[in-house]
A = this chain, B = another copy of it.
Amino acid sequence: MTTITDLVVSDVRFPTSELLDGSDAMNPDPDYSAAYVEVRTSDPGLSGFGMTFTIGRGNELCCAAIEAFAPHVIGRDLDAIEDDLGSIATALTHDSQLRWLGPEKGVVHLATAALVNAQWDLLARRAGMPLWSYLADLEPEAIVSAVDWRHLSDALTPDDAVAMLRTRVPGRTEREAYLRAEGYPAYVTSAGWLGYDDDKVRDRCRRALAEGWTALKMKVGVDLEDDLRRARLIRDEIGPDRLLMLDANQVWDVDPAIEAVKVLAEVDPYWIEEPTSPDDVLGHARIREAIAPIRVATGEHAHNRVMYKQLLQAGAIDVAQIDGCRLGGVNEVIAVLLLAARFDVPVCPHAGGVALCEHVQQFSMFDHVAVSGSLDGRMIEYADHLHEQMVDPVVVSEGRYRAPTASGLGVQIRPDAVERFRFPDGGHWS
C-alpha cells in the first residue's frame, strides 16, 4: 500500500518580464510563475508533481490555497485513488467552505488543478507510462467516472459520453501509433509578442519558418493601426498559405471587437482569440456571427466546465482553448474534451508560460486517441519559454509536438531551478 504522506509547496517565479517575453495587450510584464507542489508518498522513490501557472504577484495565494487543501489529499492510498478517479477532484471542489471562494474559479480552482494534476502524475508514473497513454488505455466507463457531472446533463450525460467513447475504441491502437511516429500538429507564438520591435518580429518569423512552422500567432489589441502594420509585416514574411492567428487578450468590447476584426480581415486571419471578456458567452456568440468565416477562439480563461458548456451550447466558439491549470485539472479537462467532442468543436489548447506546453500535449494526444479521434482543425500552441527548466521538456520539431515518452504528466521542474527561482528566498531573488 502506497499512501500520500506530505506536500512540499514552492513559490517559483521566473523573471521573464525582464525580456518582455509573453507581453500582450492585457499582460504587459508577466513574470512566469508556478505554484508548484511535490506530492510525496510512502514510497521514497515515488512523488507526483503538479503546479498552477500564474504571471507573478499573487503566486503566493495559489501556494497557500494548495496548503489549505492538503487535508483532503494526505493519507490517501494510491490504489483507492485509482479505483475512484474522481475522488480527489470532488473532495477539493466540494469542500463547502473553500468552495465559497470560487465556486470553481479563481485562486482555489487554480490550486485544485495543481493537486489534481499531481494525482494523475503519480498514477501514470507508478504505471510507468506517459499520462496521455495512461489515460488513453482507460476503459470508457473509467474515463467518464473521473468527471464531476454536476450541471452538465442538459448538454451531455455520462451514458451518452460512454457511448461516444465506445465508438472511438476501434482505431485507438492506430492513432496511438500515428502519434508516436508523426507527432501532433502545432503552431507557434514566439514571433508576435507586443513588446517586440519590428526587427525582432521579422527575425522571429524567419526563424520560425526555418524551423518548419506553418502556423503562427501574434498579439493585437493595443492600437489597431499598429496591429494592422505588424500583421501585414508577419503576413508578408510568412506568405499567403501559412496560418496567421490573432490574439486580443480580452481587451475589446463586443462591437469594437467586430469592427477591429473586420479591419484585420485584410491579413486573412485564421482565428481571433479572446476578442472580449472571457466571461462573456453571449458576446463571443455575437462576435462569431458577425465575423464568420473568421473563427472565434477562446478558453484559456474559461474557468470551468459550465463555462465551456455554454460557449458550446451558444455556438460562441469555433476553437476551444483549454488550459492545463485554469480548469480544475485532468478531471475537468476530460469533461471539456467530452463536451467539445459532443459539439464537434476542435480543442486547440492554450500553452506557453511555465510548463503549459508540457501539460497540454498530454491532453491533446489523449483526446486524439480516445475522445475526438480526430486531428481536423486541431493544433497545440507552442511558445519557446522555459522548457530548459523542465526535467522532461517537450520535444517539438518541424512544427509538431513529438509524443512524450517519459512516465507521468511531465511537469516536474528541475530541482536546481526550483532552488534558484524560489520566491523570495531563492538565489535569483534574494
Selecting from A104-112, A189-197, A232-240, A328-336, the interface stretch reads: A104-112
Is A398 positioned at the interface, with any CB of B under 8 Å from its CB?
Answer: no
Q: Pick the interface stretch among A74-82, A273-281, A358-366.
A: A273-281
Interface set, chain A 12-44, CB cutoff 8 A to B: 26-31
**Which interface residue of A60, A106, A250, A278 has the most chain B CB atoms within 10 A?**
A106
Binds B, one of A139-147, A211-219, A305-313: A305-313
- Verify A101–B107 contact, CB threshold 8 A: yes
**Which of A151, A250, A304 counts the most B-chain CB atoms under 10 A from its CB?**
A151
Give the complex CA separation of A95 and B301 in angstroms. 16
Residues of chain B within 8 A of A68, CB atoms compared = 57-58, 60-61
**Which residues on the B side are within 8 Å of A57 (C-beta)?**
68, 95, 97-98
With beta carbons under 8 angstroms apart, the residue of B28, B61, B103 that contacts A96 is B28
User: Contact between B108 and A58 (Cβ–Cβ < 8 Å)?
Assistant: yes
Q: Given the known inter-chain contacts A68-B61, A96-B28, A152-B253, please indicate yes or no for A304 contacting B279, CB distance below 8 A.
A: yes
Cβ A27 vs Cβ B96 within 8 A: yes
Q: A54 in the interface, Cβ–Cβ < 8 Å? A: yes
Tell me whether A283 is interfacial, beta carbon within 8 Å: yes
- From known contacts A280-B151, A306-B277, infer whether A101 and B61 are also in contact, taking CB-CB under 8 Å: yes
Closest to A313 in B: B282
The chain B residue sitting closest to A29, CB to CB, is B96
Contact residues of A between 280 and 331, Cβ < 8 Å to B: 280-283, 286, 301, 303-304, 306-307, 309-310, 313-314
* Nearest chain B residue, comparing its CB with the CB of A25: B96
Q: Does A255 contact B (CB under 8 A)?
A: yes
A170 at the binding interface (Cβ < 8 Å) = no
From 230 to 275 in chain A, residues with beta carbon under 8 angstroms from any chain B beta carbon are 250, 253-256
Which label, helix, strand, loop or mixed, suits the secondary structure of the A interface? loop
Is residue A55 contacting chain B, with contact meaning CB distance below 8 A? Answer: yes
Decide if A253 touches B97 in the complex (CB within 8 Å). no
- A259 to B14 Cα, complex, angstroms: 52
CB < 8 Å neighbour of A55 from B31, B100, B254, B286: B100
Q: How far is the CA of A28 from the CA of B307 in the complex (A)?
A: 26
**Does B154 contact A255, Cβ atoms closer than 8 Å?**
yes
A430 at the interface (CB under 8 A from B): no
Q: How many copies does the complex hold?
A: 2
Q: Is the CB of B96 within 8 A of A30?
A: yes
Given contacts A58-B65, A60-B64, A108-B61, contact A153 B281 (CB under 8 A): no
Is the CB–CB distance between A154 and B30 below 8 Å? no
Chain B residues with CB below 8 A from A309, complex form: 280
How distant is the Cα of A276 from the Cα of B155 in the complex, in angstroms?
14
How distant is A53 from chain B, measured CB to nearest CB, in Å? 8
CB distance from A340 to the nearest CB of B (A): 17
- B61, A97: Cβ atoms under 8 Å? no
Contact between A253 and B55 (Cβ–Cβ < 8 Å)?
A: no
Within 8 Å by CB of A58, from B55, B97, B154, B286, lies: B97
Interface residues of A (CB under 8 A from B): 26-31, 54-58, 60-62, 64-65, 68, 95-110, 150-154, 250, 253-256, 276-283, 286, 301, 303-304, 306-307, 309-310, 313-314
Q: A29-B97, A283-B306 are in contact. List 14 more A-B contacts (CB 8 A).
A: A30-B97, A55-B96, A58-B98, A58-B101, A61-B107, A102-B105, A103-B301, A107-B108, A150-B277, A151-B254, A153-B255, A154-B286, A280-B309, A282-B310
